[in-house]
Structure 1
Amino acid sequence: MKNNRPKYHQIIEAAVRVIAENGYHGSQVSKIAKAAGVADGTIYLYFKNKEDILVTVFKEKMGQFIKKIVEETNKKNSASEKLLTLIEMHIRQLSDNHYLAIVTQLELRQSNYQLRLQINMILKPYLTVIDDIVKEGIKENLFQENLKIPLVRQMIFGTIDEVVTNWVMKECKYDLLEEVPQVHALLLDGISKR
């Protein structure tokens, strides 16, 4: 399988750095190859084009992240703890890798329609994790039973996403993880039973 080869992972990591530093449009395949320490032609053994690299970066990083989120949230006993874990892990992943944060929060947003469709498909399993936490909270009688799950999902994802985007726009100058407790409290306040 192509993604078991070391050069594949070198290219993925180099692409995150290069795209974060130069923007998607300013990131030629040759720059990515140079940063990965491979010949330009090697890139095309793994990827069709630059767009394929961007989608694959997101797919790889998101795939690993979703797997970890599922593992960690499954260890928690309540929907509230699961939501806190999801928020904390989402924020930590991007706080720990500001290049990845720049790519996910800025560069992926400027992409064309076809690219956005692919990215939305990659995001679906993550959004399902959020849905499952909300459904569990309703079942536990912790969250309001009349919640519209798609709306709550947008609220949760949108809030976390905007908190990270704001941090990126402010050049990552403060500790993003300090925001986790208040984000959790505000989201819980909006959906918990009164």
Structure 2
Amino acid sequence: MKRKGPKYDQIIDAAVNVIAIHGYHQSQVSKIAKQASVADGTIYLYFKNKEDLLVSVFNEKMGTFIEKTGNELKGKASAIEKLLTLIEMHFKLLNEDHQLSIVTQLELRQTNRALRAKIGEVLKRYLSLIDLILNEGMEENVFDRTMDTRLARQMIFGTIDETATNWVMNDHRYDLPSLALPVHRMLVNGLSNIAGS
């Protein structure tokens, strides 16, 4: 199976557009091929089937985002600052690509369990960034050292994710990045080591 190259990127971008407009279940490979200006058969040179294409869309877009975010976090001094950066970058990514936001926040949720499991594998890399921030915050004594980190990770991801989904469900009518600070403030208040402050 071939990977990467201009046609691969064209197909990935076309898939985002088509799935955002028609929904995953109504997005035939032929529609994606037409949008990408390639023959139907060309798609199968790069992807096994439509499911493989959807997982690849998530892998590519999320993979690039995770890499950029990881690099950005390295330049921040504290866990609190890193958490704000993570939230800001997440909201900015979706705000800059409304079609991608529809695919990640709505369409990926409607897929079958096997497909969600594959997407979950990609998501683990994102969740590991949250774990790093949590562990650093506990070491700095700014986050509660007795907290359940798995629960805290779910709380952070769930809050970011639900805020983004609500924005998509409201047809992107307001500025998502402007919510980064209030979301950050609430999360930090929930995580803070009150006994140590």
Alignment-derived partner of residue 95 in structure 1? 95
Which aligned pairs between 1:46-61 and structure 2 lie closer than 5 A? 46-61=46-61
Alignment-derived partner of residue 109 in structure 1? 109
Deviation at 1:4? 3.1
Q: Say what the alpha-carbon RMSD is for the aligned residues.
A: 0.9
Aligned mates of 1:30, 1:162 — CA distance in 2: 32
Aligned mates of 2:191, 2:5 — CA distance in 1: 45
Aligned mates of 1:189, 1:24 — CA distance in 2: 38
Q: Match of 2:144, SS?
A: coil
Preserved CA contact (<8 Å) 1:167 1:173:
yes
Deviation at 1:60? 0.5
Aligned mates of 2:46, 2:165 — CA distance in 1: 30
Unpaired runs of at least 5, structure 2 = none
Deviation at 1:5? 1.3
Preserved CA contact (<8 Å) 1:18 1:32:
yes
Aligned mates of 2:47, 2:59 — CA distance in 1: 13
Alignment-derived partner of residue 178 in structure 1? 178
Alignment-derived partner of residue 142 in structure 2? 142
Aligned residues, how many?
194
TM-score, structure 1 as length reference: 0.98
Note if 1:76 corresponds to 2:62. Answer: no
Aligned mates of 2:2, 2:58 — CA distance in 1: 17
Aligned mates of 1:54, 1:133 — CA distance in 2: 29
Task: Give CA-to-partner distance per residue, 1:8-37, whole Å, 9 cap, x none.
Answer: 000000000000000000100000000001
Unpaired runs of at least 5, structure 1 = none
Aligned mates of 1:44, 1:125 — CA distance in 2: 27
Aligned mates of 1:9, 1:152 — CA distance in 2: 35
User: Which residue identity does 1:99 align to in structure 2?
Assistant: Q
Aligned mates of 2:180, 2:106 — CA distance in 1: 21
Alignment-derived partner of residue 35 in structure 2? 35
Deviation at 1:98? 0.7
Preserved CA contact (<8 Å) 1:73 1:85:
yes
Deviation at 1:193? 1.6
Which runs of at least 4 in structure 1 moved beyond 6 Å after TM superposition? none
TM-score, structure 2 as length reference: 0.97
Q: Match of 2:128, SS?
A: helix
User: Which residue identity does 2:52 align to in structure 1?
Assistant: D
Aligned mates of 2:99, 2:118 — CA distance in 1: 21
User: Which residue identity does 1:168 align to in structure 2?
Assistant: V
Aligned mates of 2:10, 2:4 — CA distance in 1: 11
Aligned mates of 1:57, 1:43 — CA distance in 2: 13
User: Which residue identity does 2:21 align to in structure 1?
Assistant: E
Preserved CA contact (<8 Å) 1:3 1:9:
no
Identity across the alignment (%):
61
Alignment-derived partner of residue 3 in structure 1? 3
Task: Give CA-to-partner distance per residue, 1:24-68, whole Å, 9 cap, x none.
Answer: 001000000000010111001001111111000000011101101
Deviation at 1:144? 0.7
Deviation at 1:81? 0.4
